Structure 1
């Protein structure tokens, strides 16, 4: 075995000790990455301790999160947990989505390294901020959109 192969094995082994298969999968194949054209709301959140930040975009239909996408400048933990958070939120009512917690993401991820928790949970903060921005900017009630517009 060459030294490069040995070093690669060590990197792979260390990676698996830090991030589990679920986190690695969501990092390598993140879901719902990108911007939403004409989002109903968005938010930008960050972690000043490490410089990570996230932009969260949502679309709402009939009081439910129909789309949730993100763009992030962050570590593998931030990317993978953001991907997981989008899957947890899509299809939920606004009230249900506001009840999602960091622990819900951690549980869905199968755990995250403790030293990465500060930057790995930006998506829940971004989701909550986007929902609050949506609620602040929307006339009430929002369910039944389109009333008064020829429907």
Structure 2
């Protein structure tokens, strides 16, 4: 059995939504001191819906794939739905991650939630 699913490999080799959004409505950055992975998520929100999302990730293939998949999962969604995204949903959408790489999906969830919290704080809705 392969260590990584075809979906993980696809999102690693062809990551979606890579980049920076200038003047983003929300930005969230998280890291894992143990493995050294760092994720930064940028959100553009129009009318309560995530109209654009980009990421920058420094890390392993699982971290890049998790960032890519998570951004795909929230793009075009209402902020409330994006806030409910779980690392488990990201891992399932990737058709699984090895147990020692599940922290990558956790980072993706945390980065999105931090970006949304930043969005709410900028709007005075903390």
Aligned to 1:77: 62
Residue number in structure 2 paired with 1:8: none
Task: Work out whether 1:59 is the aligned partner of 2:38.
Answer: no
2:90 matched to which residue of 1? 105
Give unpaired runs (5+ residues) of structure 1: 1-15, 141-151
Distance in 2 of aligned mates of 1:22 and 1:76: 12
What's the CA shift for 1:68? Answer: 1.1
CA deviation map 1:66-105 (0-9, x unaligned): 1111001100000001100001001111111000101110
Normalized against structure 1, the TM-score is what? 0.79
Give yes or no for the alignment of 1:29 onto 2:14: yes
The answer as to whether partners of 1:85 and 1:105 remain within 8 angstroms in 2 is: yes
Shift of 1:20: 0.7
Structure 1 CA distance for aligned equivalents of residues 54 and 88 of structure 2: 20
Q: CA RMSD in A?
A: 1.2
Which residue number corresponds to residue 118 of structure 1? 103
> Structure 1: which 4+ aligned runs deviate by more than 3 Å?
none
Bigger-Rg structure (1/2) = 1
Contact 2:87 2:108 in 1 (8 A): no
| Shift in alpha-carbon separation, 1:104–1:120, aligned structure 2, 3 A | closer
C-alpha distance in 2, partners of 1:93/1:119?
24
TM-score, normalization: structure 2?
0.94
The higher-RCO structure (CA 8 Å, 6+ apart) is 2
Aligned length: 125
Show structure 2 runs of 5+ residues with no match. none
Identify the residue that residue 28 of structure 2 maps to in structure 1: 43
1:27–1:77 Cα contact (<8 Å) kept = yes
Matched with 2:73 is 88
